[in-house]
Structure 1
Amino acid sequence: MRTLEERFWSKVAITDPDSCWEWQRSRFPKGYGQFRMSTGESPRKAHRIAWMLTHGDAGMLWVLHRCDNPPCCNPNHLFLGTAGDNVEDMIAKGRARSGFAADGMRLREAVRRLSDEDIREARREHALGVSCRSIARRLGVHHTTISRLIKGDHWKGYAA
Structure 2
Amino acid sequence: MLAQVKEEEFNPYYRTYISKAEYPDIVEGLQKSKKEFIDFMNSLQREKLTYAYAEGKWTIAEVLQHLIDTERIFAYRALRFARNDKTPLMGFDQDAYVPNSNANDYSNTELIEDFEAVRNSSITLFKGFDDEMLLKVGEASGSPISVRAVGYILAGHQKHHLEVIKERYL
Q: Shorter-chain TM-score: which interval?
A: under 0.3
Q: TM-score, normalised by structure 1?
A: 0.27
What is the TM-score with the length of structure 2 in the denominator?
Answer: 0.26
Higher relative contact order (CA 8 A, sep 6+): 2
Q: Which structure would you say has the larger Rg?
A: 1
Is the helix fraction higher in 1 or 2?
2
